[in-house]
Structure 1
Amino acid sequence: MKVKKYIAPTMSEAMNLVRVELGNDAVILNSKVIQTGGFLGFFKKRSVEVIAAVDPTPKAVPKVKEKQKLPPVKQPKIDFIKEPTIVADTIKQSNVNVSPTSLDKSSTDLLKELADLKDLVKNIPNTNGQESVQFLYPEPIQKINRRLADQEVSPHIKDELLSLLLEKWYVDGANHTDEVIIEWAKNELNNRFSPYSYGEITFEKKYVNVVGPTGVGKTTTLAKIAADCALKYKKKVALITTDTYRIGAIEQLKTYAKILSIPLEVCYNLEDFKNACDTFRDFDVVLIDTAGRNFRNKQYVEDLKKVINYDEEMETLLVLALTSKQRDMEDIYKQFSIIKINKFIFTKADETSNFGAMVNLIDKYKIGVAYITNGQDVPDDMMSANSEIISKLILGVEQHERSS
């Protein structure tokens, strides 16, 4: 067996190196993310280290004429490469104890283990139509791979997670149940997304601006937040709506305000908005419902900034529906990013089983999530979000727990 280590900037580049040098029958024994280069511990580059192997079985001897004598065929040897440290590391990872007197037996055991592991190998799809190198994912990790692919999680997030799981798999003895691997994956995703800001509004800022396109459940979500503030936290809450384009939205919000005994001001222009802010100057929190089309107009935003200090007084939440395509969500974000978006709100979680776009947007824009809604009931059907809840949704942990 020929074993060799490759270091490349990305997993795909490392796989190409394996394919070129060892061929399409190669398998990956281990892979991990490493830091290389740098100066005095700084400016290190992130790379991927892959240990690959190939089993050099003898090629079939071509048929010859009966009278022609064949040269003696030598039995193929196990070709350990020259780098002794790589061989030692690889054998160590395979849990094989090697002594000078037992090298042949150890080699046989290693080949047997490799043959057994090959049964777990799946081919990585190749868009160029070329045959891909077999990548060694144990079955429990393959299940995570399939789950992330079904959820349409971005390839770079998926590849980095699988690399971490594979490294942990070999370090911890290469024998774990599906439940253990799911827990590993949940913890790794939780660690990846936990640095961002999550959870319900903190009342650090008086004005909460809820923005988003029509049809995502923005007005209903605003009513849920208002009910949460008034009933759960006993805050003095007021509502302002500038969404005068949709009469139905105004009537809907008026109904919610009446039920919750919360005052509502409808603002048709900047002067109305100034007056509403003055009317509610003694309130704890003022929730603002805006028209989606307003934020396409830069002047509208600039005018609002004359009334409210966005940096010191305003928290802005962008509402997106999980039933939308990720590409559409990104276009909406760009439309509203004329102002600072503090957190996302994702609605309609009950209408889809695909949550990949949620983590992709968090990862791309480095913005956390305030709430996730899963129905129309006010004040119910809304939960405060955190990285653990999001990790469970992606991995289907709650569904798995219910079925087990």
Structure 2
Amino acid sequence: MKIQKYIARDMPEAMKRIRAELGNDAVILHSKVIYTGGFLGLFKKRNIEVLAAIDPSVSDVPVPQYKQMKKNEVRHPILIKEQPPNTKSFDQPSIDQSVNGKGSADYPDIVKQLDEINQHVQAFGDLSSNVSFSIPTPIKKVVHQLAKHEIEKSIKDRLVKELVAKWYAAGENVQEPDVFKWAQQLLLTEISSYSFGEISLSKKYINVIGPTGVGKTTTLAKIAANIILKQQKTVGFITTDTYRIGAIEQLKTYATILDVPLEVCYSMEDFENATRKLENCDIILIDTAGRNFRNKKYVEDLMQVVDYKREMETLLVLSLTAKQKDLEEIYQQFSAIEIDSFIFTKLDETSSYGAMINLIVSCKKGVAYITTGQNVPDDIIQATPIELVNKIIEVD
């Protein structure tokens, strides 16, 4: 049995070619809609692919329009042979288009091979190029959503490329909610490999660091309340924030409300004494001073007061109201200290949440908590990848 593949604009054209080449006794084995051509994987033309077969033993196969084929000569179907030399397309396989076999048992393997080849879709080029692309409307809406939340260009480009590839691979009948779900899953893939959620309490010392005004002390009180109420652990406070007026009094107020001990440290010696006094506590939470993050000496001062050689988990507290560039600079300044994860504060004071995704991807760090207000202990939630992504891609 000879099996031949044809690619044509529509079924009538395919049938005309099949009859002309294989004769009226040819049978259709398989047909499907495919997309070919285009530019960088876009703007492909809708065609139909047909597999037809003929038994060579049939005596009345008319071949008047074609010269007799030589032995082992491969006949290429129309459209395929019009492809420019030395070019390859995922939609146009390089396998022989005429297959001579003993029977139709060869057909399933051929169909499987063709289907696998046609599943590849080429993504289009860099969005920053000068080429004007006609992006499908649902994907444009996703792009608008990403831009609204100030998602970094490199992340946005990757997502849109993947979305366009999926769009053309899926073919017809793709709905807007499907595209948004694809975007949601792609963003989840970007961040899910990092650590998320509440601190494990596997380490005795929990240290929060960050610039001034991000809400470190209030956040520390929220974490302490959750540990006491949910985990039934005993907690102690250490503060090294001796610079800010009223900082010690603020933490003393929280310590009184939560009924936990508090130690104030001005030096490494004070820190060592404080840890001895609080050694019976299950968890010791350390509040550090918030100062100008642009001053490297601040980070050096921190390392002169807090013993980071201890078994310690360090959380960098960042405000979502800050500029992306400032957040990146803050991370760079504090990266002299080993940072385990982020805490993002002031979610309720902004409508743009892309900075969370941007920092996770660029810094390769996860998120422990997100705070949503000033109330202690209520306005804090443990971070999860889906929680963050849903702030960006709103899927019903």
Q: Do both proteins adopt the same fold according to a TM-score greater than 0.5, normalized to the shorter chain?
A: yes
1:1-400 pair list within 5 angstroms: 50-52=40-42, 81-82=83-84, 89=91, 132-293=130-291, 296-297=296-297, 299-304=300-305, 307-310=307-310, 313-397=311-395
* Alignment-mate amino acid for residue 301 of structure 2: Y
CA shift digits 1:83-140 (9 cap, x unpaired): 698568179xxxxxxxxxxxxxxxxxxxxxxxxxxxxxxxx677xxxxx433132111
Give a deviation string over 1:145-192, Cα, whole Å, max 9, x none. Answer: 111112111111111111111222222233222222111111111111
Which 4+ stretches in 1 moved above 6 angstroms? Answer: 28-31
Aligned residue pairs, count? 294
What is the distance in 1 between the residues matched to 2:308 and 2:366? Answer: 23
The secondary structure found in structure 1 opposite 2:338 is coil
| Structure 2 residue matching 1:134: 3-state secondary structure | coil
Letter in 1 for 2:371: T
| Residue 308 (structure 1) shift | 4.7
SS of the aligned residue for 1:197 comes to coil
8 Å contact 1:30–1:170 — kept in the other structure?
A: no
Greater CA deviation, 221-230 or 171-180?
A: 171-180
Deviations 1:26-82 (Å, cap 9, x if unpaired)? xx9899xxxxxxxxxxxxxxxxx9225699xxxxxxxxxxxxxxxxxxxxx9x9542
In 2, the alpha carbon distance for the partners of 1:88 and 1:200 equals: 46
Change (3 A) 1:125 1:294: closer
Stretches of structure 2 that go unaligned for 5 or more consecutive residues are 1-34, 46-78, 94-126
Q: Give CA-to-partner distance per residue, 1:239-267, whole Å, 9 cap, x none.
A: 11100111322111111111111111111
Per the normalisation by structure 2, the TM-score is 0.68
> Take 2:92 and 2:137, find their aligned partners in 1: how far apart are those partners?
21
CA separation of 1:379 and 1:302: change in aligned 2, threshold 3 A: closer
Query: Counting helix residues as a fraction of each chain, which structure ranks higher?
Result: 1
Q: What is the rounded CA distance, in whole Å, between the counterparts of 2:275 and 2:90 in structure 1? A: 71
Distance in 1 of aligned mates of 2:292 and 2:323: 22
The 1:171/1:376 distance shift into structure 2, 3 A limit, reads same
How much does 1:329 deviate? 0.8
- Per the TM alignment, residue 321 of structure 1 is displaced from its structure 2 partner at its CA by 0.4
CA distance in 2, matches of 1:320, 1:235: 26
Q: CA separation in 1, counterparts of 2:393 and 2:36?
A: 25
Q: For structure 1, list consecutive stretches of 5 or more residues without a partner in the other structure.
A: 1-27, 32-48, 56-76, 92-123, 127-131
Give the structure-1-normalised TM-score: 0.66
RMSD of aligned Cα (Å): 3.0
State the one-letter code of the partner of 2:91: D
Contact 1:210–1:222 (CA<8 Å) still a contact in 2? Answer: yes
Question: Does the CA-based 8 Å contact 2:354-2:392 persist in structure 1?
Answer: yes
Greater C-alpha Rg: 2
Secondary structure of 1:209's partner?
A: strand
Q: Distance in 1 between matches of 2:188 and 2:365?
A: 14
Is the 1:169–1:175 contact (alpha carbons within 8 Å) kept by the matching residues of 2? no
Is contact 2:36–2:44 with CA below 8 Å preserved after alignment?
Answer: no
